[in-house]
Amino acid sequence: MEHESVERTLRTGYPEAEARLVTHCGSCGGELYEKEEVLLHDEDVFCDNDCLLDHLIDAGHVWVKVLDEEVPV
């Protein structure tokens, strides 16, 4: 009997099992697979910082402002 990864490689051509799709990014809709590092906000899942920031801006939790002489507190 051969090692599991050898058997899988002979059977599929890949030493590791194919990652399973778990969910989609709450902003861009990209596919997110098991064992991927993601960002969570409330109950939403995001693939990276840019998608999380886009979501926060769209939801009105963060504002984009061009700084002038006065900085709002």
69 lies in a domain?
no
11 lies in a domain?
no
Residue 12 has pLDDT above 90, yes or no: no
17 lies in a domain?
no
14 lies in a domain?
no
Task: Supply the pLDDT for residue 31.
Answer: 97
Residue 7 is inside which H or E element, if any?
Answer: helix 4-12
53 lies in a domain?
yes
The count of structural domains within the chain is 1
Q: Does residue 25 sit in helix, strand or coil?
A: coil
Q: What is the mean pLDDT of residues 32-53?
A: 96
Task: Supply the pLDDT for residue 18.
Answer: 80
Total-model pTM: 0.68
Residue 15 has pLDDT above 90, yes or no: no
* Residues comprising the chain, all counted: 73
60 lies in a domain?
yes
Task: Supply the pLDDT for residue 3.
Answer: 76
* Residues of the domain holding 31: 22-64
48 lies in a domain?
yes
36 lies in a domain?
yes
